[in-house]
Amino acid sequence: MTEHTLTVAGVAVDTRHWIGGERVASTDTFTDLSPIDGSVLGAISRGTAMEAAAAVAAAKAAFPAWAGTSRAERARILHAIADGVEKRIEELSIVETTDNGALLRSHRRGVMPRVAHNFRFFADWLLKLEHEDFETRGHSNHVSWDPAGPSVLITPWNAPLMLATWKVAPALAAGNTVVLKPAEWSPLTASLLADIAAEAGLPAGVLNVVQGYGSEIGDALTSHPDVRRISFTGSVPTAKRIAASAAANLTPLSLELGGKSPLLVFADADLDLAVDLAVEQYDNAGQVCLAATRILVEESIADEFTRRFADRAAQLKQGDPRDEATDIGPNIHLRQLEKIDGFVQRALVAGARAVIGGHHKNGQYYAPTLLTDVAQDSEIVQEEVFGPVLTLQTFRDEDEAIRLANGTRFGLAATVATGDPERAERVTAQLVAGTVWVNCFFVRDLQAPFGGSRHSGVGREGGTWSFDFYCDLKNTVTAPKGWKDHG
């Protein structure tokens, strides 16, 4: 292992920034830890305003040529990046699992193939992106998507590479240049992405990766006057700081924030399916923004649902995420674990009852928890925990179910379990959410709009919505006459 390289399960990862097609080291570093056992993975270059300025300058310098690159060539390079990801799925999977604690089997089978798909989808969508020309009093109208400019993308730690490329791929496809700032708790696969993109032929400066703390490098990026777009996934408090920072330059924002999503279980639902959907919310140790952490069950089936849920949850295996048999791994960081336990212990003191769990197990592993006897206005119901903690409340009828479901400041997602299609239509029409699933969960298509309502976000990305954000839309109106004869 060299001074600027660490090795994870035999995979070499450069710990420096990637700026203007070159590796750049910072004077200071921060320590990256594995949540699996708390071991030190290595010292990562800790960026400051100086690296932020250098990265934005590199993106600005590279922008004219990349924006002027044909759609076909941009799409070709994005497909080449996808090829590179697919060749390194095993390496990316083990590095990400070691760095953020998510299941290795999930990375191998779903997450990393999705990373490649992100690039392929937006490459292909770019080639068919168009708006039909139309006429106004004999004048022709032509809509075009013009690249906006350097884009700052700030990504979270719970699904680092997948969520990063969900932003990077459309930004690059749109003709923008990118400064990617990964979360400091899981920075390693972003560094590998820089290598893959360079090997695929992405020109220097088109993708830049800078590491560090939000207060030290993030603020410098989001307040920079040369940045034309900012996309952020993370917490509401951080989003407010980013929005305030971007306001001085009126930089457009796309914000995908927290959630406190409901799962509504009606008495006419397939109860086994509903229980499976509820237990699925423990995926990734509960560190999923879309998770339906508030289980709302019709009174007449609440006891039976709770019994079946406890039985089903007891079958989950919690442990080392590298083990194929593991269902739930660790939480990302000791600070996050302490936050989770604080929520639970305060809820118990306030009168909640733990049907299962309710305690820290060992290391960075928190027992899957279900709390009942919780009030709608309680902290545990209103605030995002971001851990393997669910609450269960009951309702008498549709009106109460909808009132409880909409009774937080969030509106990211919702899930409905019912056997009545008419009820599903009535209920989903009244739910405040960016995504609603009926009798399913986590089915996502990149061509669909994605984002949240209320404090769960601003804007939508996905399909054409991504290009609408990452581009400046232009309408060109041409008169039917006035042309000179050039014959």
Could you give the strand order of the β-sheet that contains 413-417, starting from the edge strand earlier in sequence?
353-356, 369-372, 389-395, 294-298, 262-265, 413-417, 435-438
Residue type, 287: Q
| Spatial contact of 98 and 189, defined as CB atoms under 8 Å apart | no
In the chain, how many H helices and how many E strands? 16, 24
User: Helical H runs in 88-235?
Assistant: 89-100, 104-106, 112-127, 160-173, 188-199, 219-222
| Spatial contact of 52 and 245, defined as CB atoms under 8 Å apart | no
Buried b (16+ CB within 10 A) or exposed e, 183-202: bbbbbbbbbbbbbbbbebeb
Tell me which DSSP letter residue 485 carries: P
| Spatial contact of 171 and 470, defined as CB atoms under 8 Å apart | yes
- Return the ∠ at Cα 410 (arms to 407 and 415), rounded to 5°: 80
| Spatial contact of 26 and 5, defined as CB atoms under 8 Å apart | no
Q: Helices 160-173 and 188-199: crossing angle, nearest 10°? A: 40
- Report the distance separating Cα 146 and Cα 311, nearest Å: 55
Q: Which of 256, 298, 384, 461 is catalytic?
A: 256
Catalytic annotation present for 256: yes
415: Cα within 13 Å, side-chain hemisphere: 30
Q: Which helix (H) or strand (E) holds 42?
A: strand 40-45
Catalytic annotation present for 471: no
Tokens 């071991």 belong to 39
- Report the distance separating Cα 22 and Cα 64, nearest Å: 19
Q: Output the DSSP codes for 429-484.
A: HH---SEEEES------TTS-B--SGGGEES-BSHHHHHHHHEEEEEEEE-SS-PP
Q: Which of 96, 289, 298, 384 is catalytic?
A: 289
Q: How far is CA 126 from CA 68, 162, 463, 465, 467, in A?
A: 14, 20, 9, 12, 8
Please count the other Cβ atoms lying within 10 Å of the Cβ belonging to residue 448.
13
Tell me which DSSP letter residue 322 carries: T
Q: What are 7's two structure tokens?
A: 């090795």
The residues assigned a catalytic role are: 256, 289
